[in-house]
Structure 1
Amino acid sequence: MDSSFSLGFRTSIILIVLELAYIVALSMGLAFLPTPESPIQDPWFTAMELLILSIAPALVVLMTALYTTADPQKKPFALVSVFFMLAVCIITTCLHFSILVLSRHEAFQGAPWGEVIFPFKWPSVAYALDIVAWDVFWPLSMFFAALAMGTARLEKGIKALMLLSAFLSAVGLLGVVTGNMSHRNIGIVGYVPVFMAILILLSFYFRKPARANA
């Protein structure tokens, strides 16, 4: 198998495993909430943060593999997708590493401004950065990745799901406009279950050379 396709296949499988692990950690965290209003507790919170820090760079690798395997005339679209996914990765890793490490430090815990920086509730700096990453740069990355797909049946399916992911995640911005952050749940559908379906199809897409040589 060509190294680019091999990289894409392995990365898509790794991301499927990481996404499933994140869903499990999130489900367990929600199941063991002391009260419905309480934030997710440890060890589930730490597990989710570590998984996000693992998922973010893998997303860049996946988009890079997609760029290297795209048709020459579609490579510019794939390259733009890589850049936007890199923005998702940088913002996400900086944000969640800060939450994981700094938010627990005594120098930050006692600060009066800490409540407007780290909590994942609106309005806060952390929440705003998360919105920029996943409701702005993510849909842009998915949109341009969709434009990079070919006309084969499998690629058409991937393209349709990428466009759906882009649309749903962008709809999450309605939360900022209306002040009702429940709209972000629509965006979550775009970059969790819909993206999981994309990953499954991409794993078949990246296996094409293996089938051709069989």
Structure 2
Amino acid sequence: MNRKSIAYTGISLCSAFILVTFMLVVTSSKIWLTAFEVITMISGVFMVLLILFLPSSENEVTKPYRIVSVVFVTGNMILTNVTHFVNLAVTEKLIKSGINIPDYFQIGKWPSIEMAIDYLAWGMFMGLAFLASFMFIPKEKGYKNLKYTLLICGILCVSGFLGAMINENLWYLAPMGYGVGTIVICIELLVIEKISKDSIMTIKSS
């Protein structure tokens, strides 16, 4: 797996996530809920790979930020998969069997224990992973767009997390960061790869 395949995977996965989320909101169907749970768990794993494949500065000062970013994105993956697996394998099965599960134990309800963990994962942990990534991306001109996109994504995620404590609607800042923002990050990775490839071809031909 290389940076190019990671980027294409990210664009496809995020596009599928946005589509499934839209269908879930419109239909409230259990089928779309299951698809949402599965894609979200896969996305948690993907975000770890995305962070690992981001270009990194050779400056020794920035190396700790890469470690911090990996720690936070791994935390996001763990919390995400635990939360959505519990909802898929336990909560939904209990509801289907006729057991009355309180709203505060369900995904999609707020306030809810499962949603609070999910918000912590994708809001705070993913946001901090993006912000730490901003710190280790090279400062050279070719990486500038990627660097500041990561900063914006981080701010949106953390703002959504903190905002949810005040008004649930403010949470939707976060999906702009980790959803739409990730598509932008992947596109910028493809641009960087193309520029890098063109530079190598120019050097070889000269």
TM-score normalised by the chain length of structure 2: 0.86
1:66 corresponds in structure 2 to 54
CA displacement at 1:104 relative to structure 2: 2.3
Which residue among 162, 172, 175 is the counterpart of 2:164?
A: 175
1:36 corresponds in structure 2 to none
Query: Does residue 105 in structure 1 map to residue 100 in structure 2?
Result: no
Query: Does residue 190 in structure 1 map to residue 185 in structure 2?
Result: no
Give yes or no for contact 2:14–2:180 (8 Å, CA) kept in 1: no
| SS of residue paired to 1:66 | coil
| SS of residue paired to 1:43 | helix
1:3-152 paired onto structure 2 within 5 Å? 7-31=2-26, 33=27, 40-66=28-54, 69-73=56-60, 74-106=62-94, 114-152=102-140
Unaligned runs of at least 5 residues, structure 2: 202-206
CA displacement at 1:207 relative to structure 2: 4.9
Give yes or no for contact 1:102–1:108 (8 Å, CA) kept in 2: no
Percent identity, aligned pairs only? 23
CA displacement at 1:28 relative to structure 2: 2.5
Whole-angstrom distance in 2 between the partners of 1:106 and 1:163: 41
Give yes or no for contact 2:68–2:132 (8 Å, CA) kept in 1: yes
1:211 corresponds in structure 2 to 198
Whichever residue aligns with residue 64 of structure 2, its letter is P
| SS of residue paired to 1:105 | helix
Whole-angstrom distance in 2 between the partners of 1:47 and 1:113: 21
TM-score normalised by the chain length of structure 1: 0.83
Question: Number of residues paired by the alignment?
Answer: 199
CA displacement at 1:128 relative to structure 2: 0.6
> Which deviations, in whole Å up to 9, do the C-alpha atoms of 1:38-63 show, x marking residues without a partner?
xx213222222111121111111121
Give yes or no for contact 2:13–2:39 (8 Å, CA) kept in 1: yes
Whole-angstrom distance in 2 between the partners of 1:192 and 1:107: 29
CA displacement at 1:209 relative to structure 2: 4.8
Whole-angstrom distance in 1 between the partners of 2:136 and 2:193: 14
Whole-angstrom distance in 2 between the partners of 1:107 and 1:96: 15
Cα 1:90–1:206 change in 2 (3 A) is farther
CA displacement at 1:77 relative to structure 2: 1.2
Whichever residue aligns with residue 24 of structure 1, its letter is L
CA displacement at 1:7 relative to structure 2: 2.3
Mean Cα deviation higher: 45-54 or 132-141 = 45-54
Give yes or no for contact 1:11–1:61 (8 Å, CA) kept in 2: yes
Whole-angstrom distance in 2 between the partners of 1:109 and 1:62: 39
Mean Cα deviation higher: 52-61 or 86-95 = 52-61
Whichever residue aligns with residue 26 of structure 1, its letter is T
Mean Cα deviation higher: 84-93 or 120-129 = 120-129
